[in-house]
Amino acid sequence: METDTSGFGPYKLVSREYKPEDTLISVGKSIIGSPQFHVIAGPCAVESRAQLLETAWAVKEAGATFLRGGAFKPRSSPYSFQGLGEEGLKLLAEAREETGLPVVTEVMDVRDVELVASYVDIIQIGARNMQNYFLLKEVSRLEKPIILKRGQSATLEEWLLAAEYVLDGGNWQVILCERGIRTFEKYTRNTLDLNAVPALKNISHLPVFVDPSHGTGRWELVTPMAKAALAAGADGIIVEVHPCPVKAFSDGEQSLTIKKFGKMMTELKKMAKVLDRVMPIE
């Protein structure tokens, strides 16, 4: 039987009007959308086994709840490093086996959806693909959580309508991720729109994450914006961490060192207590 959504606005299934209670998404021992504040951390790109495992163990020890790493890398230049592909997925699966951290990676092509889904716990749809409706329909058939990043110039309505495609296809495990929008400002990579966090919490039941790495493009701004995301009511953050950012194949300028990530986590844990939030650590 079809769901009657005729009485709602442009976005229906994602609206809090349609579903007043918060959506909770369980991944292993973690419950996204609850009072828990989650941290997804890891390198922008999976470069090697040694690089990934070193980072995975370090972020786990610091308190991260998920490991991120790009196997397929969408880059502005066709000559830039494009990722290791399936070999990168295998390394992510190995890191999960060793550390116990669920893994997150991006899918870019409808032809790769089943392959990526067979290796990872959460699938990310990047900003460039937010309105790739064929891809959204494909991941809507999965029984895995989807992180849907905001497009570079997308309004909240356009973003929620993109999420609507996934819910309408049957997958209600959607996490919205604010990662900055394009404005006239050149000092930062993007303009991190933290207004979006409380706004989305007001109009939608879906969990909301923030990506301060892509949102700023500058490692020295990541920790302040991570704190701001926690204070704004985000359900979690996704942060890039690399053992040696100056040698990173991609996005080294916005990646935290392992030491700086540990310091950030210590500060976030202190904040979380004041805000009655929980940072789950095994």
pLDDT in tens, 66-125: 999 999 877 677 777 778 899 999 999 999 999 999 999 999 999 999 999 999 999 999
pLDDT score at 1: 37
Say which amino acid occupies 217.
G
Instruction: Decide: 66 and 40 in contact? Cβ < 8 Å.
Output: yes
pLDDT score at 5: 52
Q: How confident is the model at residue 9 (pLDDT cuts 50, 70, 90)?
A: confident
pLDDT score at 282: 44
The C-alpha atoms of residue 29 and residue 65 are separated, in whole angstroms, by: 9
The C-alpha atoms of residue 203 and residue 148 are separated, in whole angstroms, by: 17
Token pair for residue 16?
Answer: 């809090």
Structural domains in the chain plus CATH codes: 25-273 (3.20.20.70)
Residues in the chain, overall count: 282
| H helix intervals, the chain | 49-62, 86-99, 113-117, 133-139, 156-168, 196-203, 212-216, 219-232, 258-274
CA-closest candidate to residue 81, choices 43, 46, 132, 121: 46
pLDDT in tens, 150-187: 999 999 999 999 999 999 999 999 999 999 999 999 99
What values do phi and psi take at 188, rounded to 5? -105, 160
Token pair for residue 193?
Answer: 């729109």
Instruction: Decide: 224 and 198 in contact? Cβ < 8 Å.
Output: no
Mean of pLDDT over the chain:
94
pTM for the predicted model, two decimal places: 0.94
